[in-house]
């Protein structure tokens, strides 16, 4: 059969850590869900009947804090309505300056107890260790509820030991959907962490199937071409399908990508020479004839 050549332009999406990345315009892409951030890293604002929830908080930089403040204003939302910040995991590019928002608005900050401890001691974190306190925790199976909106948390360790992934309802033009946010993107280096990551992809797949997830969002838009799809949405008219609604089957394929990435990384690691192991013994010398 003749191979059909794609007419679409392939877009290389790579993280640009350390580079100054222009903010993407704050964009509402479901009836109650908006993105604020850059193609590198962002956060999501979920509107409920009793206030706003922020999912993740970008980098602990003043410019990122200001981006969130401006993003909320651009979306027509009030900073003072912020009631909670739910953090996926204890890396700086996810907990950001959540403390500043808490001081300003009195909102709660929630993350897992395990990652709170991890973030306080993670000297490998580019942005340093977490230096402020968290008093509210959310764990596997917990449901955070505000204004009738329920966000379910699931422990998905691997990327970090206490990483959480979230499932929550959204609607598009009034039609109900179920969104999933896989908390930790990158496959970890250590083999034991990879095993945890792999297990977590399978565990979360069970949960997303159970709740019928058909929408995926990522705090790192370079992973899922998030900002490309948001750009489409900024021009979309009523009735045209929302590119974030994948459908249940395609959602499973998206999710499977993380399982496959992890399996590939494990296979590569198993095939690599481990520098910590002693060198293999020399081949036996052939007895002289």
How do strand 215-217 and strand 175-181 relate by DSSP bridges? parallel
Place of tokens 């604002």: 45
- Tokens representing residue 188 in the block: 């970890």
Q: How far is CA 100 from CA 9, 57, 62, 95, 138, in A?
A: 41, 11, 10, 11, 20
The stretch near Zn ion (CB under 5 A) out of 84-92, 150-158, 165-173, 245-253 is 84-92
Distance of closest approach, residue 41 Cβ to Zn ion, in angstroms: 9
Provide the minimum distance between the beta carbon of 89 and Zn ion in the complex, in angstroms, as a whole number: 6
Task: Kindly state the smallest distance separating residue 215's Cβ from Zn ion, in Å.
Answer: 21
Closer of 28 and 91 to Zn ion (Cβ) = 91
Closest to Zn ion by CB, 91 vs 229, is 91
Which of the ranges 91-99, 118-126, 130-138, 165-173 carries the binding residues for Zn ion, by CB under 5 A? Answer: 91-99
What gap in Å lies between CA 5 and CA 25, rounded to an integer? 33
194: contact with Zn ion by CB under 5 A: no
C-beta of 131: minimal distance to Zn ion in Å?
18
Pick the closer one to Zn ion by CB: 47 or 56: 56
Angle made by CA atoms 53, 179, 171, in degrees to the nearest 5: 80
Comparison of 198 and 233: residue with beta carbon closer to Zn ion: 198
- The nearer residue to Zn ion, 65 or 91, going by C-beta atoms, is 91
Give the binding-site size for Zn ion (rule: CB under 5 A). Answer: 1
Answer yes or no whether residue 220 interacts with Zn ion by CB under 5 A.
Answer: no
Q: How far is the CB of 155 from Zn ion (least distance, A)?
A: 15
Cα-Cα-Cα-Cα dihedral sign, residues 205, 207, 208, 210: positive
- How far is it between the farthest Cα atoms of the chain? 89
Q: How far apart are CA 75 and CA 35, in angstroms?
A: 10
**Closest CB to Zn ion: residue number:** 91
Give dist(CA 86, CA 95) in Å, integer: 9
The dihedral formed by the CA atoms of 139, 35, 49 and 70, expressed in degrees to the nearest 10: 110
- Residues 111-140 contacting Zn ion, CB under 5 A: none
Q: Of residues 64, 65, 91, 108, which one binds Zn ion by CB under 5 A? A: 91
Instruction: Select from 6-14, 83-91, 219-227, 251-259 the region that touches Zn ion (CB under 5 A).
Output: 83-91
The single-letter DSSP state of residue 245 is B
Q: By CB under 5 A, name the binding residues for Zn ion.
A: 91
């Amino acid at each position: 059969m003749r191979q059909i050549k794609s007419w679409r332009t392939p877009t290389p999406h790579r993280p640009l850590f350390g580079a100054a990345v222009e903010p993407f315009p704050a964009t509402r892409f479901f009836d109650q869900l908006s993105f604020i951030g850059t193609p590198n890293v962002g956060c999501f604002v979920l509107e409920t009947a009793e206030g706003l929830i922020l999912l993740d908080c970008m980098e602990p930089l003043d410019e990122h804090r200001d981006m969130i403040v401006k993003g909320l204003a651009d979306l027509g939302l009030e900073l003072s309505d912020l009631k909670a910040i739910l953090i996926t995991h204890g890396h700086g590019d996810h907990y950001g300056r959540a403390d500043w928002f808490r001081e300003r608005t009195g909102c709660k900050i929630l993350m897992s107890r395990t990652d709170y401890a991890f973030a306080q001691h993670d000297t490998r974190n580019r942005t340093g260790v977490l230096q402020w306190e968290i008093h509210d925790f959310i764990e596997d199976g917990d449901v955070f509820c505000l204004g009738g909106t329920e966000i379910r948390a699931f422990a998905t360790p691997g990327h970090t030991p206490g990483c959480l992934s979230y499932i929550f309802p959204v609607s598009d033009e009034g039609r109900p959907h179920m969104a999933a946010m896989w908390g930790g993107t990158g496959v970890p280096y250590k083999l034991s962490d990879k095993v945890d990551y792999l297990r977590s992809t399978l565990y979360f797949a069970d949960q997303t199937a159970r709740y019928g997830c058909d929408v995926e969002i990522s705090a790192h838009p370079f992973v899922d071409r998030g900002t490309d799809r948001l750009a489409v949405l900024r021009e979309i008219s009523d009735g045209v399908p929302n590119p974030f609604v994948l459908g249940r089957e395609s959602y499973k394929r998206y999710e499977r990508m993380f399982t496959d990435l992890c399996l590939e990384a494990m296979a590569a690691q198993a095939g690599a020479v481990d520098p910590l192991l002693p060198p293999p013994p020399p081949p036996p010398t052939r007895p002289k004839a």
